[in-house]
Amino acid sequence: MAVADFLLRRFAGEVAGGTDRSGSGKSGVVVVDAGDAEILVRSGCGFVGDGLELRFRAGLPAQGRRVMGRAAARLLTEDLPRAARAVQWSRLDGERVRQWVELVEDHEHLQGQLAGRGLVAFVRDGAVLPRASGVSSAPLRGAVELRSPPSLRVTLPTLHHGEVSGMGVPVGVTLVTGGGFHGKTTLLEAIQRGIHPHVPGDGREWVVTSPDAVALRSEDGRSVVGVDLRAFISDLPGGRDTRGFTSPDASGSTSLAAAIMEGLEGGATALLLDEDRCATNLLIRDARMQQLVARETITPLIDRVQQLHADAGVSTVLVVGGSGDYLEVADTVLLMEDYRVHEVTARAREVAAGHPTGRAVLPPRGAIVPSPRRPRLRSFDPRRGQRAKVRARGLRELQLGEQTIDLGALEQLVDDGQARTIGALLEWLFEHGREGGTVRELAEQALAAADERGLYALGRLPDLVGVRRYELMAAIDRLRSLRLLEAR
Ligand code: ADP
Ligand code: MG
């Protein structure tokens, strides 16, 4: 993966400078889908037998609908072959390739150590987390480098870089607190993306997160189909059941409860949440509201978060500056101040003891166990009229047949190509999915097929990018056409 990623970037760089773009429309335009900050599996480059295949789109040089023969011949027989020669081994900087490979291997090596060390994530001392701007993936210049508080510092062995030291984010319930603009969200977002390796020079090369950490948010208006929400929502007016909750237009709180249960259905071992993006009423309810409102249907996360870890083994990292009630239920409290991380768990306990909230801590009602759902395969129908129509628009929207799936809440999608891959996998499931499988089993089946034959085999598209089970499942969860087989 690392070598392919490197070669594809090299080829893209070569193509960008070396082709003639005269003419009109896509004339002469060569599009190579190389990556940005993350190093990911891509269909644009594959090792086939003893050889290497580079895959890309090229517009033949043309004026209107007339191909310009000479220019086309030059593109096909001179420019592209020249660009392709740039990835021949003899022309590469071997040290740089080695650097790429060693970073990817060590990222994976560290990921493999997290669970055994009781960690959800690791951020090496010296990491640069903020980006230059909201639309740039480049590191912010002059940023404050991350330094672990002494109490959280861990030292881990790597394969190629000796021992590395930095902040270990422990399993359990971790709060990231601090004043506005002190870097809380920046830390959480870096952790969200630490599921993937990053390119040398990115600043986040040594942010390493459990591959089963899932970032979730509220999503007013989303579709929810047949999710068991009883752990968070029950006793609805009119006796409506929340065992298999369905809504075409879920609220902020309901959508977050659904996202948590769907995450558990997928096998998530850590939830990453930012209060900025989460409905308050699913996060907390204070003493006064407990007094005033007798018939509450929501059990907020604050009453479940410890149970999530104790019973289901699921950790939570929660950015929260607004509600001190959470101090009581946290195992670890981080305080961000001027972009510096302090560990203040003991102090937080003192504050909590000194300022009792008077909240009644509700005893856990029932286990938090997701009920697996079994989709009907026709839910994945990609047809619009006679023909399949599957098209991603950027990262946020995926058209599948008649419907548009909103991917905007999938925080950990990082590359447009991943949205295209989700589309291709849904289409594959319509054809080849095993009827009767659960959402998770279907996602695993599709990903195993893509893994075995390569992403390119999915639809001979040059711009597909690897996705996790969690993102594929999240897209299935949001299908407005999702229908389930009757519970057995
Ligand atoms: P919060 O979530 O605490 O309100 P943010 O993470 O949104 O804070 O950060 C606020 C601003 O500070 C952002 O513009 C971000 O780029 C910048 N910032 C974050 N971390 C650092 C850092 N380590 N060094 C310099 N600037 C940073
Ligand atoms: Mg924030």
Query: pLDDT, tens digit, for every residue of 63-90?
Result: 888 999 999 999 999 999 999 999 999 9
pLDDT band at 101 (very low <50, low <70, confident <90, very high): very high
pLDDT average, residue stretch 320-347: 95
pLDDT of residue 18: 62
Q: Which residues surround ligand 2, an ion (CB under 5 A)?
A: 185, 276
pLDDT of residue 240: 84
**Average pLDDT of the chain, as a whole number:** 94
Question: Which of 148, 176, 186 to mutate for ligand 1's pocket (most ligand atoms within 8 Å of CB)?
Answer: 186
Q: Is the pLDDT of residue 454 over 90?
A: yes
Ligand 1, closest atom to CA 188? 6
pLDDT of residue 242: 92
Report the Cα 380 to chain-centroid distance in Å.
22
Ligand 1, closest atom to CA 180? 4
Alpha carbons 483 and 375: distance in angstroms, whole number: 6
Phi, psi for 167 (deg, rounded to 5): -85, 125
pLDDT band at 426 (very low <50, low <70, confident <90, very high): very high
244 with 293: CB under 8 angstroms?
no
Alpha carbons 324 and 433: distance in angstroms, whole number: 47
Burial of 299 (0-12, 13-18, 19+ CB in 10 A): buried
Alpha carbons 438 and 488: distance in angstroms, whole number: 12
Q: Is the pLDDT of residue 21 over 70?
A: no
Q: Taking the CB of residue 65, how many other CB atoms lie within 10 A of it?
A: 7
pLDDT average, residue stretch 406-429: 97
Assess whether the C-beta atom of 178 lies below 6 angstroms from ligand 1: yes
Residue-wise over 421-447: b if at least 16 C-beta within 10 A, else e? bbbbbbbbbbeebeeebbbbebbbbbb
Alpha carbons 106 and 194: distance in angstroms, whole number: 13
pLDDT of residue 361: 78
Measured between alpha carbons, how far is residue 315 from residues 245, 272, 306, 346, 430 in Å?
25, 9, 9, 20, 34
Ligand nearest to the CA of 189: 1
Assess whether the C-beta atom of 181 lies below 6 angstroms from ligand 1: yes
Q: Is the pLDDT of residue 488 over 70?
A: no
171 with 315: CB under 8 angstroms?
yes
pLDDT of residue 373: 97
Residue-wise over 249-265: b if at least 16 C-beta within 10 A, else e? ebbbbbbbbbbbbbbbb
Ligand nearest to the CA of 146: 1
Assess whether the C-beta atom of 277 lies below 6 angstroms from ligand 1: no
* Shortest-distance Cα residue to atom 26 of ligand 1: 143
154 with 166: CB under 8 angstroms?
yes
pLDDT of residue 20: 63
pLDDT of residue 444: 98
Q: Is the pLDDT of residue 453 over 90?
A: yes
Measured between alpha carbons, how far is residue 287 from residues 169, 325, 330, 358 in Å?
30, 10, 18, 6
Read off the tokens for 60: 């033949």
pLDDT of residue 471: 98
pLDDT of residue 295: 85
pLDDT of residue 241: 85
**Where do the structural domains in the chain lie, given as residue ranges?**
2-92, 214-354, 377-477
Assess whether the C-beta atom of 142 lies below 6 angstroms from ligand 1: no
pLDDT tens per residue across span 254-307? 999 999 999 999 999 999 999 999 999 999 999 899 989 988 899 999 999 999
Read off the tokens for 435: 């009827």
Alpha carbons 173 and 217: distance in angstroms, whole number: 17
pLDDT of residue 237: 86
The structure's pTM equals 0.96
